[in-house]
Amino acid sequence: MSTAAFGRVAIVHDWLTGMRGGERVLETLVRHLGEVEVFTLFHQPGSVAPTIEAVPIHTSFLNRLPAIRRFYRLYLPLYERAVECWDFAGFDRVVSISHCVAHGAVVAPDVPHVCYCLTPVRYAWDQGPTYFAEIAPPRIARMLPALLSGMRAWDVGASHRVDRYVAISAHVARRILRFYRRRATVVHPPVDTDFFSPGGQREGYFLLVSALVPQKGIRLAIETFNRLQRPLLIVGKGPLRRRLEALAGQTVRFLGWQSDVALRRLYRQCRAVVFPGEEDFGIVPLEAQACGRPVIALARGGALETIRESETGLFFPEPTVESLTTAIRRLDCAQFDVDACRAHAELFSVARFLAAFDRAVLDSGGEAPPDHGARTCTAPASDVDPVPD
């Protein structure tokens, strides 16, 4: 589709401090949408792909605060004010990529605002105690209930500023309906299946790729592989690295951040990828499958949409050492076809994402108004509207 159809686009992204799943989406959209400028709460120069660094990047006042890039979680009470500070005059369209406050950007009524929602902010709604337990000083921890209550109220109000929600998974669409009373179209994020591809000789190690933060299930994986005395390589960085390294036995190694080329080699050569946390989507399992490798995943969240049981991976039902151990032993007896893993990953290619995203963004005015009368609800998968390929 011609980029002229979109006009001049402002993309609002929560923050830019590294290349994770949301930043991969941002990179894809920057390449695709043409005349783009990025608005973000704070930015660490050089931390994201050159494609993103090359476009105009506007930051908020948070970018000037002391040690924002190291202690950004402690500035959470200021995020709501910061995301409301920009003027989008002269833009034809606003697209927010939001897992925190980006969807709360204030946009003129005549400018379409589509939110590509990675999730309603988890540490406000359902992971606050887990998320902050190991990183918040005691004084901050005592303030959390009031802080998170206020954030939930702001978050619901901010959701009314969006013309249309597009969710990364049916799992996230159900969360949007539950917390915001808004329906969402489902467009799964893209996987670079041209870059991530099979090759190389398989080795015996298992691989875990994740930010080193509390909610990712990394402790569970370490405890399991300590017990099994099986080799586990962990790729990623985060505030819990020292504590997690202290838990690790001799068969668990931390590799820190790795380049895409190095990560592809690790995917290609691993026995399987371990995905032990509940994720809203999770790009790692699909990158692994694109490289022909199976995945062992917790049977919750977005993994249920990206992994085919006994064909491209195995699920374990409970976040316990016993449950994960059983899945690893099942994997020892299973055979997975490289071509089947690869074919499944190709269903999430960049080309398919862009075609579905274009339809969702350009058709941004047809959603029924939200029901403000109910506070929460649950919804089965049939209550969300996937965009067909």
Per-residue confidence (pLDDT) for residue 239, from 0 to 100: 85
Quick one: pLDDT at residue 137? 59
Q: What is the DSSP string of 14-63?
A: S-BSS-SHHHHHHHHHHHHHSSEEEEES-B-TTSS-HHHHTS-EEE-GGG
- Is 376 contained in some domain? yes
- Does residue 343 share a domain with residue 359? no
Per-residue pLDDT band at 122 (split at 50, 70, 90): confident
pLDDT in tens, 271-283: 999 999 999 999 9
Does residue 217 share a domain with residue 82?
no
Mean pLDDT of 217-224: 97
Which pLDDT belongs to residue 126?
Answer: 79
Q: Which residues pair with 297 in a beta bridge?
A: 275, 315
Helix or strand (DSSP H, E) at 154:
helix 138-159
User: Is there a domain that residue 317 lies in?
Assistant: yes
Indicate if 38 and 51 belong to the same structural domain: yes
Q: 191 φ, ψ to 5°?
A: -120, 135
Structure tokens belonging to residue 176: 């949007």
Mean pLDDT of 365-381: 37
The pLDDT of residue 269 is 97
Task: Record the tokens describing residue 183, joined without a space.
Answer: 């329906």
Residues 65, 183, single domain; the answer is yes
336 plus 358 within the same structural domain: no
- Report how far residue 181's alpha carbon sits from residue 179's, in angstroms, rounded to the nearest whole number: 6
Question: Do residues 140 and 132 touch, judged by C-beta distance below 8 A?
Answer: yes
Global confidence as pTM: 0.84
| Number of Cβ atoms within 10 Å of the Cβ of 142 | 11
pLDDT score for 146 = 78
Residues 10 and 91: beta-carbon distance below 8 Å: yes
Give percent of the chain above pLDDT 70. 88
| DSSP state letters, 164-227 | EEEESSHHHHHHHHHHH---EEE-PPPB-TTTS---S---S-EEEE---SGGG-HHHHHHHHHH
What residues make up the domain containing 142?
Answer: 3-190+350-386
CATH classification of the domain holding 337:
3.40.50.2000
* Average pLDDT value over all residues in the chain: 88
Answer yes or no: do 163 and 34 share one domain: yes
Domain count, the chain: 2
Q: Is residue 39 assigned to a domain?
A: yes
- The whole-angstrom separation of Cα 175 and Cα 126 is 11
Residue 96 has what pLDDT?
98
**pLDDT at res. 305:** 96
Q: How far apart are CA 153 and CA 282, in angstroms?
A: 27
**123-160 pLDDT, tens digit each:** 788 766 666 655 555 666 667 777 788 889 999 999 99
Which two tokens mark 339? Answer: 């071509």
In a domain, 201, yes or no: no
Which DSSP letter does residue 82 get?
H
Beta strand 295-298 with 313-316: parallel, antiparallel or unpaired? Answer: parallel
Closest CA to 154 of 59, 83, 75: 83
Q: Are residues 106 and 243 in the same domain?
A: no
Cβ atoms of 248 and 222 closer than 8 Å? yes
Residue with tokens 């579905």: 356
- pLDDT, one tens digit per residue, over 262-310 is 999 999 999 999 999 999 999 999 999 999 999 999 999 999 999 999 9
Q: Would the CA dihedral through 8, 12, 18, 19 be positive or negative? A: negative
Whether residue 196 lies inside any domain: the answer is: no
Is residue 68 domain-shared with residue 153, that is, in the same domain? Answer: yes
- 234 lies in the same domain as 182: no
pLDDT at 186 over 70: yes
Amino acid at 244: L
Q: What confidence tier does 374 reach under pLDDT thresholds 50, 70, 90? A: very low
Tell me what pLDDT residue 268 has: 98
Residue 371 has pLDDT above 50, yes or no: no
Would you say residue 372 has pLDDT above 60?
no
Across 104-113, average pLDDT = 95
* 376 has pLDDT over 70: no
Sheet strands (E) in 79-132: 93-98, 113-117
What burial class does residue 190 get, using C-beta atoms within 10 Å of its C-beta: 0-12 exposed, 13-18 middle, 19+ buried?
buried
Q: Determine the pLDDT at residue 1.
A: 57
What number of other Cβ atoms are within 10 A of residue 147's Cβ? 16
**Do both 368 and 380 map to the same domain?**
yes
pLDDT at 54 over 90: yes
Q: What pLDDT, on a 0 to 100 scale, did the predictor assign at position 366?
A: 44
- In angstroms, the CA 315 to CA 326 distance is 10
> Tokens 């099942």 — which residue?
330
Q: Is residue 59 assigned to a domain?
A: yes
| 368 pLDDT more than 50 | no
Please count the CA atoms within 13 angstroms of the CA of 12 that sit on its side-chain side. 30
242: β partners = none
What's the pLDDT score for residue 271?
97
In this prediction, residues 318-336 reach a mean pLDDT of 97
Q: How many residues are there in the chain? A: 389
Q: Is 199 domain-assigned?
A: no
Residue 319 has pLDDT above 60, yes or no: yes
Q: What would the two tokens of residue 133 be?
A: 């337990």
